[in-house]
Amino acid sequence: MKALIINCSPVRTGATAEIASIISGELSKKYETRSICIDDYSFAFCKGCRSCHKTAKCVIQNDDIMKIMDEFENADIIVSVAPSYWADIPGQFKAFIDRCTPWCDTHEPHASISGGKRGYTAALRTGPTMRECDTIVRTIEHFYGHLKIECCGSIGLCSVENKADVEPRRAEIVGFCEKI
């Protein structure tokens, strides 16, 4: 089985990247893993033209969306690791989700990825309460649902502001990975 771990933050070296690295290390004990960072890809914003509702293809063709979707296609397990940016996912990841409208199951025709995929979410925020983490999880699970990725679990990590805050939470992260 193959696992894809996505750092949904534009920061390749911060707390989110550290959590993604721990998850990747743990999952690599059981699965073939691949880790990506959303900021390693270049893509345009959705134009809202709804052409994909009729064609199942985006009018924007010359960017990296298909590269990311190929990563989704090749994975059996997808773990999205997202920090809170103003109480929800980072804009870069939201822009990616918007561009996945051709794969959304709310219109016909629509593109699709192969079935049987399992999705997990790790959310983090700097504040002390879970409300923002819950919002992040709901956003990503909503996205997974429209791509027919089964939502199988999540973890919320509060009071994580920087990379140094991750190590004391390692046991929680490892426990989350044991359920994947």
Residue ranges per domain, the chain? 2-178
Phi/psi zone of residue 4: left (φ > 0), alpha (ψ -120 to 50 degrees), beta? Answer: beta
Q: How far apart are CA 155 and CA 43, in angstroms?
A: 28
Tokens representing 88 are 């929800």
- Residue 49: exposure state from Cβ atoms within 10 A (0-12, 13-18, ≥19): exposed
Measured over the CA atoms of residue 52, residue 56, residue 62 and residue 68, the dihedral's sign is: positive
Q: Residue 176's pLDDT is what?
A: 98
Is residue 42 very low, low, confident or very high in pLDDT (cuts 50, 70, 90)? very high
Nearest to 116 by CA among 150, 71, 74, 154: 150
pTM over the 0.95 mark: yes
The CATH class, in words, for 2-178 is alpha beta
Assign 3-class secondary structure to 155-180: EEECCCCCHHHCHHHHHHHHHHHHCC
**Mean pLDDT, residues 106-123 taken together:** 97
How far lies 89's CA from each of 46, 66, 137, 160, 162, in Å? Answer: 17, 21, 9, 15, 17
Band the pLDDT of 118: cuts 50, 70, 90: very high
SS in 3 state form for 110-132?
CCCCCCCCEEEEEEECCCCCCHH
Mean pLDDT of the chain: 97
